[in-house]
């Protein structure tokens, strides 16, 4: 019997396995910080900010508490007028909408390109011509960096800010350039399941603008210009703590090799899944970081139940598009590809805790679905 003939249990994520390889270094770092007696705003946070800035090729990185705060503070740093809207996609989990709404902005949505599941670049210009868009937020979803050259050019032509949401794209590249280094400002989440994941919450804002970085730094700490002096209204407390920063410094060193591992799983899926009822994405090139492996199936619910009966956990990213969330005040928009994807997409396990046999079991089980 070959190993993949054995019925296996494949989790959707396995954070313990993913972190096991770092266990000694993480434990040592935590112990060192506890013993140091200095827990917030110390040398690890500073060092992580410099090291991550060097990694992505940006001048400034500011650590914050999570990826949603990163988006909110990035948007607020742009000082948009309240007549401005944010242009975004509706298939990326409502994170941009949450941040934009907290920043007092409304969101306008355009559809995705079904081939990439990213913002349909061909539709951006029409929206920018309307004149009320203050910033475009591009989400590099599932680990794929968008084709940024035309987006950067459009934003420049129309005098609109460009924000990159890189929460699912740490280390992803386009023509050799890292996601997060194209726009005016970019944001990262270090939620534990992310390609660069903390052991808790964390986030960062990256930019080449000293002015924007300084605004984010001020906003994330009560609006202080110096200790106890509030010179910026509506600041908040959104800090990356020393222990998480130290963990991220350790894990950053293996981000590229871990991304390559995820990509190898995704590429086995794309090469070996052959079931006409399951639409797979094309093979991932070397610049894709395979954060999620998302297929589409007409009868998604039946497919998901079948996989679950065969001990394969899956998830849906994301079942409710932003414009159909109940809290959205309801501009009616035609987002047919977004809506199709929300009701047919399914994410297969693609993570660092998977063995070759786990991947084979998923492939064999998907191929046997009738």
Ligand X SMILES: Cc1ncc(COP(=O)(O)O)c(C=O)c1O
- Which residues sit at the interface with ligand X, rule CB under 6 A? 66-68, 92-93, 95, 139, 165, 167-168, 189, 191, 201, 203
Nearer residue to ligand X within complex by CB, 191 or 361: 191
Least distance in Å: CB of 324 to ligand X? 18
Alpha carbon distance 341, 210 (integer Å): 39
- Which value, to the nearest 10 degrees, does the dihedral of the CA atoms of residues 167, 180, 289, 152 take? 110
Alpha carbon distance 100, 208 (integer Å): 22
Residues 6+ apart with CB under 8 A from 14: 351, 352, 353, 354
Question: Hey, which residues does 109 pair with through a beta bridge?
Answer: 88
Alpha carbon distance 195, 197 (integer Å): 6
Alpha carbon distance 57, 290 (integer Å): 21
Least distance in Å: CB of 169 to ligand X? 8
Least distance in Å: CB of 26 to ligand X? 19
Nearer residue to ligand X within complex by CB, 139 or 207: 139
Least distance in Å: CB of 75 to ligand X? 12
Residue nearest to ligand X (CB): 67
Q: For residues 226 and 1, is the Cβ–Cβ distance under 8 A?
A: no
Nearer residue to ligand X within complex by CB, 113 or 272: 113
Tokens 């999620």 — which residue? Answer: 292
Least distance in Å: CB of 97 to ligand X? 10
For residue 16, with 0-12 CB atoms within 10 Å meaning exposed, 13-18 middle and 19 or more buried, which class applies? exposed
Least distance in Å: CB of 194 to ligand X? 7
Using DSSP, state whether 58 is helix, strand or coil: coil
Query: Of 223, 184, 147, whose CA–CA distance to 58 is shortest?
Result: 184
Least distance in Å: CB of 136 to ligand X? 15
Nearer residue to ligand X within complex by CB, 202 or 281: 202
Least distance in Å: CB of 189 to ligand X? 3
Instruction: Count Cβ neighbours within 10 Å for each residue of 260-270 and write b for 16 or more, e otherwise.
Output: ebbbebbbbbe
Alpha carbon distance 278, 306 (integer Å): 13
């Amino acid at each position: 019997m070959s190993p993949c003939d054995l019925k296996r249990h494949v989790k959707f994520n396995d954070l313990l396995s993913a972190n096991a390889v770092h266990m000694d270094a993480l434990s040592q770092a935590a112990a060192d910080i506890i013993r140091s007696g200095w827990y917030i705003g110390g040398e690890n946070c500073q060092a992580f900010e410099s090291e991550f800035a060097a990694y992505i090729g940006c001048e400034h990185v500011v650590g914050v508490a999570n990826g949603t705060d990163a988006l909110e503070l990035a948007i607020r740093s742009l000082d948009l007028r309240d007549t401005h809207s944010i242009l975004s996609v509706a298939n990326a989990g409502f994170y941009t909408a949450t941040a934009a709404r907290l920043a007092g902005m409304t969101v306008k949505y355009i559809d995705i390109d079904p081939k990439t599941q990213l913002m349909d670049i061909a539709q951006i210009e029409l929206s920018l011509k309307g004149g009320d868009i203050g910033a475009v937020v591009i989400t590099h979803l599932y680990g794929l960096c968008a084709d940024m050259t035309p987006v950067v050019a459009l934003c420049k032509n129309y005098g609109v800010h460009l924000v990159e949401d890189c929460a699912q794209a740490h280390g992803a590249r386009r023509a050799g350039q890292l996601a997060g280094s194209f726009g005016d400002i970019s944001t990262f989440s270090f939620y534990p399941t992310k390609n660069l994941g903390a052991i808790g919450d964390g986030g960062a804002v990256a930019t080449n603008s000293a002015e924007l970085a300084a605004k984010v730094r001020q906003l994330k700490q009560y609006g202080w210009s110096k200790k106890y002096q509030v010179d910026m209204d509506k600041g908040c407390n959104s800090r990356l703590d020393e222990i998480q920063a130290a963990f991220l410094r350790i894990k950053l060193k293996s981000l590229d090799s871990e991304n390559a591992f995820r990509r190898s799983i995704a590429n086995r899926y794309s090469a070996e899944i052959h079931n006409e009822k399951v639409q797979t994405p094309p093979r991932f090139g070397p610049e894709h970081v395979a954060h999620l492996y998302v297929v589409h199936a007409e009868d998604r619910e039946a497919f998901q139940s079948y996989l679950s009966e065969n001990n394969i956990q899956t998830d849906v990213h994301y079942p409710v598009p932003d414009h159909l969330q109940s809290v959205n005040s309801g501009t009616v928009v035609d987002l047919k590809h977004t809506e199709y994807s929300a009701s047919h997409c399914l994410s297969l396990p693609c993570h660092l805790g998977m063995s070759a046999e786990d991947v084979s079991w998923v492939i064999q089980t998907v191929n046997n679905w009738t």
